[in-house]
Amino acid sequence: MLLTVVTTESWKTDVEHSETGESTDVETNVFQGKGFTWTRTPPKVAQARRENIIMSLSRCVDEAKYANTQHDAFSLFISDDILNITLTHTNQKIHDYLFNFTGKVQNWMRRTSLDELCAVIGLLIYGVFESSHEHIESLYKMDGTGRLVFPVVMAKNRFWFLLSVL
């Protein structure tokens, strides 16, 4: 049996209401629930508009054509000058934090490097596309629900610390 979902805004029909608030139309085999209408007949497929038809294959253009390494590709988004400025100010903020810190200094409270800064930015970019609005604790879970890339790239305490001083 094939059922197709159609939003109630696009499907208007006279229906009989049942006791549960859901409704059915016996003649057209329609079942309506909260915000959706299910039908056994699929909607008609319209021909694609001309502007939605891809005429050429996607490819890299301009500077992206010459990005042969991961660093070259990353530099297309964030220049080396910006990374160096960010690194300088982040290390200065870490220095100020440690100067005023009164407890025992942990290993993850050290100064950062350019590679580590790029890793943090990469994790942030990955987080936007793959795990937006997820708590950092859930990203690092090891029970199969977390994101494997986060604990592989950086320890959770180090990631928290670098986010707090960026």
Tokens of 124: 């942030």
* Averaged pLDDT, 145-159: 86
In a domain, 156, yes or no: yes
In a domain, 47, yes or no: no
Residue in 43, 151, 166 with CA at minimum distance from that of residue 94: 166
- Domain containing 144 equals 66-165
pLDDT at residue 22 greater than cutoff 80: no
pLDDT of residue 117: 92
Point out the least confidently predicted range of 48-62, 65-79, 97-111. 48-62
In a domain, 103, yes or no: yes
Residue 14: band (very low, low, confident or very high) from pLDDT cuts 50, 70, 90: very low
In a domain, 101, yes or no: yes
Q: What's the structural domain count of the chain?
A: 2
CA distance 32 to 11: 10
pLDDT of residue 15: 43
Same domain, 26 and 99: no
pLDDT tens, residue by residue, 34-71:
777 777 777 777 777 877 777 777 776 777 888 888 88
In a domain, 132, yes or no: yes
In a domain, 52, yes or no: no
Same domain, 32 and 105: no
